[in-house]
Amino acid sequence: MRTSRPVLNVSITLRALPLLERFEAARRLGFEQVELWWPFDSPTPGEGEVSSLVAALDDAGTRLRGLNLFAGDMPAGERGVASNPERAGELTANLDAVLAIAEATGCRLFNCLYGHRDERWSEQQQAETADQAIAGAADRLAALDGVVLIECLAQGENGAYPLTSLEHCAAVADRANALSTHGNVAPLLDLYHLARNGFDIVESAAQWAKRVAHCQIADAPGRHEPGTGDLPLREAIDTLYANGYQGLVAGEFVPASPEGPTTAWVEDLGW
């Protein structure tokens, strides 16, 4: 059963607007629930920056449902720091600000991008670094009933990012859960990234419905609104919920029009 209307990822769908204006724009489009990539340049923003973010969410009447942990310089191509032995400490330092935002907003879903494969270290060294960093984040966020999400990304679009399947994500989650106290690490189901990596998204939805803790969608090719490409997104979402999924679905797409995102897809997908 679908739990609520979709969430809108304002970091990508409304990126043409200044950060603090995106929540009101989302509300005008009919979205009361939003999610964010890490919205600050630093893993340790000042109290004023955090307060301004929370105030903008409140003023718009929007609820923050998902937040990416600090992932490095995303515009420059970085995709996380958890597996980098020189930078995993930045993820740990990030948690004070994450907890402050979570306490103020009620956000309970936290996406932790794994980081690129780096030949300066062995795969085992990077895996052990990531396992410890993710488990540490999960233990701290468990105090607020938080769940840490592990996401696979599309090959060819995200550098040397090593997690390209839900099996990869589940393996990382299992290792981190074995090290943590609360077992609150879970895969994230991103139908766009899975499709780009050659997976059947309907079969994936059926197989992973009871294991994943969040779902994100965009159409392909193009990564635009659902309905602009050829992915069977409605069938995949129907299958996901029919097989026991109880979480949220978030639109995480690049608007096809320079005028901004459209909303017809919400009804087209069954909401």
Report yes or no: 222 and 229 within 8 Å, Cβ to Cβ. Answer: yes
For residue 137, CA distances in Å to 40, 42, 70, 104 come to 18, 17, 11, 18
141: which strand partners? none
Q: How far is CA 93 from CA 90, 136, 223, 226, in A?
A: 5, 11, 32, 36
Residue 35 designated active-site: no
pLDDT for residue 97: 99
- 35 bridge partner residues: 9, 66
Residue 2 confidence (pLDDT):
75
Return averaged pLDDT per consecutive 10 residues of the chain, 271 residues in all: 88 98 98 98 98 99 99 97 98 98 99 99 99 99 98 97 99 99 98 99 99 99 98 98 97 97 96 93
Give 156's DSSP letter: T
What DSSP string describes 51-113? HHHHHHHHHHT-EEEEEEPP-S-TTTT---STT-TTTHHHHHHHHHHHHHHHHHH---EEE--
Res 1: pLDDT:
67
**Catalytically annotated residue among 32, 252, 259, 267:** 252
* Residue tagged 């679905």 (tokens): 249
pTM: 0.97
Asked if 157 is an active-site residue, the reply is no
Catalytic residue selected from 21, 151, 167, 203: 151
Instruction: Enumerate domains of the chain plus CATH numbers.
Output: 7-268 (3.20.20.150)
